[in-house]
Structure 1
Amino acid sequence: MADTRDATSRRLRRLGEMQKTKAVEGASRALRDVWEAGRKPAEIVLRFVLIQRPDGERAPLTRLVLPRGIALRFYLLALFEAQCRLDVNEPWANARPLTGVGSWSDFVAIDGAYHSASGTYMPDTKQERTGPDLRVRQVKSALDTLEKLGLERALAVVPRARNGGRRLYEQFSLMKEGGRGGHQTPDTYTVPAPHWSARTITVPANFFLMGWVQVLNPSEIATWLTLRALSQWAREQHAETGVYLYGKARKEDFGLRRDAWEDGCNMLRGFGLLRHARASALDADPKKGLSASIDLVDYLAREMRERYEPYRWQVIDQRLNEDAMKICTKELTLRKKQLDLAAQQRAQGKNSSTA
C-alpha cells in the first residue's frame, strides 16, 4: 500500500509540474497543428501485430511497457504524425527535425529533471539543462529503445555517420508495427487501411489531441489498447456483455502481467475510459471520478462475479473528448486522499491494538 501511495504521489507531482509548465497543453497544440494542416484523420489505424504476434512471440507493445522513458508513447506519436501526413500505403519518410517548433521533441510532454533531496525541479547543474534539451534527450533515448528491440523486431532504425561514429537521430526511419523484419530491405512503415478482420484496430484521434497519450503510463496504454482490440474483435459481445481475458490468455497471448493488467483496468475505469459491463448504451455519459467505485452497477459486477471469473469490461470513448490533464489530476488527487485515509485508519487500528 505504501508503494501505491508513493507512486500516486510521484505521479501527481509530475502532473503538477507539467501543469505548471503547460507541457501537455503545448505538446497537444503541436499535435493539433499537424492534424489540422494534414489529413485530419478521425481515427488512427494500428496493425494488430503491435498487440499480439501471430507466431506466439512477445508482442512489441509489451516490450515497451517500461518503468522509464517514452518509447511506447513516441512510437504511437510517430504513427499519428504519419497518418496525418501520408496516404494509405504511402511509405514513411522523416519530414521533421528533432528540435524547434513543430519538431519531434515538440510533440512530447515531460515534467523535467527532479531533485529529490531538495524537492525541486530543474536544479542548477554544471551542465545547463533546459526543457527543450531534456525533451530531445528523451526522444533520442526512445529511438534507442525502439531500435534495440532486435535486428528483426526493431520499430525504428537510426543510421550512423559514414565514419561509423555519430548516430544521426534526425534521419531515423520508422518501421511497421511488427518490426524491421528479417529481409535485407527493412519493412519501412506505411499507413494501413482499416480492415474488417482482426488485422487492424482503430484509436480515436482525440487520444492524441486531448493529451491522453501524454498522461497515461505505459501499462495503462497497453491495457487500454488490448481491451480496444478485444472490443473491436467482438463488437456485439462487447456491447451486450463486455469483453474479458483469462489469466492464461492475458499472459501467454498478450504478454501482460497480472499486476499491470489489474492496476491498468482500475485506473482506466477511474479515468472514465472503461466501465464494468452493463446494459446501458456505450455512448452514455461515463461516471465521474473514482467515486464510481461505489456505483451500484460496479458493486453488483463485483458481488455477482463468480470466483476466479475475470471482470467483463466495456471500452467507452466519450471521456477522450475531455482534457486528460484535468481528469487525471482530479482522479489521482481523490485516489491519494483515499489511500492516505486508509493508511491513517490502519495506523490507528494498530495503535489501539497495542495499547
Structure 2
Amino acid sequence: MRRDDKVEVRIGNLVKLMEAELPDAVAKAQEIWERGQRPNVVRVRRPYLRLELFGGVVVDERKPLPREKRPISAQMIAPKGLSLKLHLLMLFAAQCEVAPGKKWSQPYPAEPTPQKPDSWMGLAASVAQYAGPGVQASSVRTNKLRQVVEAMKALEKKNLVESVTGVAGQVKRGILLGCENGKSTRAASIPYTVPMDNEPYIEIPAEFFTRGWIHVLTMSEIAAILMWLDILKFDSRQITLPGATQPVTMGFVNSFDRHGWYGLGRETYETHQPLRAFQLLEVYDPPKRHDDGKWEGYNDDHREMACHKIVMTPEGFNREAGKAVLEILRRRHATGEWGRALGW
C-alpha cells in the first residue's frame, strides 16, 4: 500500500472513531480520573519498554531483534489489535484507583454490567463495524467485545494479566493485573503494584489518556513516545540552542541503541515526523559541520552527530487528540508533507 493510501485509510478510520466510540471512551477516562487518585502522570516501569541487558547488535534494519527478544511494549506493535493500547489503559485505570506501592484488587471486567459499569470495553475505542445480515454476522457491540477479549488473551500470553479463575483463556470472566516488568511466568506471576518513587519508571502525561491520544496514535507512534520519554528522563543532555538564553533538555538515539535497547526499527524512529506535526515533539536537525569535520557544541561521538535531537512538549497533550490529528492527516494527504497546523 502506498504511503498516501495509508494516510487516506487512517483518515477514514479516525473519522469513524470520532463519530462513534472516541467521545465516550475519552469521557470515561476523564470520569475515572476525576473520581480517583487524579495522577498527573502514569508511571510505567522501565523494563516494559527498555531491555535491562543489551539485546544485541543489529546491522541491517531489515533484520531487527527477534520479536520475543524485544521489550514487552515493542513486542505488541502490530498493524491490528488492541493489546498495547489496552494494557496502557489498564495501567492508567490502576493508577487512578490506587496509590504507589498498592495493588488493585478488583480490575474492571471486559464488558459493563448494571453492577459494574466501568469496563475495558468502555475505556477502549476501536473501529468495530456491523458485518451485515447472515449466519456469520455480528453486531458492533459483539465485534467490539471480541476485539477486547482477544487483546486480553494476548496480554495473558505475555503474563501481563491472568484470569481470576486461574484457568488460561478465561479472561472474559475477570482478570488480575501482573507486573509490567516482563518477569512474571505462568508458574510464578508477580502481582501488579503502582511503581514507587524508588523504582525506575517513565511518566506518561495523564492527558495522553484523558484527551484521547492513546486511541488516535498508531502503535509505532506510541512506542516512539515511550522511548523518547525514557531517553529524556534517563539519558538526556542540557543544550543551549543558538540565540537562546536557557538550556533545554534534549535526547537522541542512534540505530545501534534503538534496536539493542528498545527493539524498535526505523519505521518507529521515523514517527518523529508526524509526532512533531501533532505538536508532541520538537525535532532539531544535526548542526552543521565545520570545515575541519568538527560539530559545533557537540563532543566527538560520531554516532550522535547524525541523530535528530528531540524535545518533548508535554503541553501538546492538553489538546483534543482526535481533532488535532485529523487536521494534520488531512494536510498530509493534501500536500504530502508532515506540516503543522496554521499558527504553529
TM-score range, shorter chain: 0.7 to 0.9
Q: C-alpha displacement at 1:311, in angstroms?
A: 0.7
Encode CA deviations 1:77-125: one digit per residue, 9 max, x unaligned. 0000000001221123234222223211000111223xxxxxxx65444
From 315, 318, 321, the counterpart of 1:318 = 315
Q: C-alpha displacement at 1:75, in angstroms?
A: 0.5
Query: Who is 2:277 aligned against?
Result: 270
Encode CA deviations 1:56-79: one digit per residue, 9 max, x unaligned. 442101001111101000000000
Query: Who is 1:10 aligned against?
Result: 9
Q: Give me the CA root mean square deviation.
A: 2.4
Please say if 1:147 is aligned against 2:164: no
Q: C-alpha displacement at 1:237, in angstroms?
A: 2.6
Query: 2:197, 2:43 → 1: CA distance?
Result: 6
Query: Who is 1:339 aligned against?
Result: 336
Please say if 1:106 is aligned against 2:122: yes
Query: Who is 2:57 aligned against?
Result: none
Q: C-alpha displacement at 1:31, in angstroms?
A: 1.0
Secondary structure of the 1:223 match is: helix
Query: 1:146, 1:95 → 2: CA distance?
Result: 14
Q: C-alpha displacement at 1:265, in angstroms?
A: 1.1
The structure richer in helix per residue is 1
Query: Who is 2:176 aligned against?
Result: 173
Assess if the C-alpha contact under 8 Å between 2:272 and 2:281 holds in 1.
yes
My pick for the range that moved more, 90-99 or 184-193, is 90-99
Please say if 1:222 is aligned against 2:223: yes
From 288, 312, 320, the counterpart of 1:304 = 288
Q: C-alpha displacement at 1:156, in angstroms?
A: 1.6
From 73, 83, 88, the counterpart of 2:100 = 88
Residues 1:191 and 1:165: Cα distance change in structure 2 (over 3 Å):
closer
Assess if the C-alpha contact under 8 Å between 1:45 and 1:194 holds in 2.
no
Query: 1:88, 1:4 → 2: CA distance?
Result: 43
Instruction: Map 1:199-238 to 2 at 5 A.
Output: 199-234=200-235, 236-237=237-238
Assess if the C-alpha contact under 8 Å between 1:58 and 1:254 holds in 2.
yes
Assess if the C-alpha contact under 8 Å between 1:45 and 1:200 holds in 2.
yes
Query: 2:75, 2:139 → 1: CA distance?
Result: 30
Assess if the C-alpha contact under 8 Å between 1:156 and 1:180 holds in 2.
no
Q: TM-score, normalised by structure 1?
A: 0.77
Query: 2:217, 2:171 → 1: CA distance?
Result: 30
Query: 2:165, 2:98 → 1: CA distance?
Result: 26
Encode CA deviations 1:213-260: one digit per residue, 9 max, x unaligned. 011111100001100111111455375362111111111111100122
My pick for the range that moved more, 172-181 or 267-276, is 172-181
Secondary structure of the 2:308 match is: coil
Query: Who is 1:192 aligned against?
Result: 195
Query: 1:156, 1:144 → 2: CA distance?
Result: 8
* Structure 1: gaps (5+ residues): 114-120, 278-300, 341-355
Secondary structure of the 2:181 match is: coil
Query: 1:302, 1:133 → 2: CA distance?
Result: 50
Residues 1:258 and 1:236: Cα distance change in structure 2 (over 3 Å):
closer
Query: Who is 2:48 aligned against?
Result: 50
Assess if the C-alpha contact under 8 Å between 1:242 and 1:314 holds in 2.
yes
Assess if the C-alpha contact under 8 Å between 1:31 and 1:107 holds in 2.
yes
Query: Who is 1:242 aligned against?
Result: 250
Query: Who is 2:146 aligned against?
Result: 137
Assess if the C-alpha contact under 8 Å between 2:97 and 2:104 holds in 1.
no
My pick for the range that moved more, 9-18 or 100-109, is 100-109
Query: Who is 2:66 aligned against?
Result: none
Please say if 1:261 is aligned against 2:266: no
Secondary structure of the 2:44 match is: strand
Query: 2:157, 2:248 → 1: CA distance?
Result: 42
Assess if the C-alpha contact under 8 Å between 2:103 and 2:191 holds in 1.
yes
Query: 2:171, 2:70 → 1: CA distance?
Result: 29
Assess if the C-alpha contact under 8 Å between 1:28 and 1:208 holds in 2.
yes
* Structure 2: gaps (5+ residues): 55-68, 240-246, 290-294, 296-301, 338-344
Q: C-alpha displacement at 1:326, in angstroms?
A: 0.1
Query: 2:229, 2:211 → 1: CA distance?
Result: 18
| Identical-pair percentage | 25
Assess if the C-alpha contact under 8 Å between 1:179 and 1:187 holds in 2.
no
Q: C-alpha displacement at 1:139, in angstroms?
A: 1.3
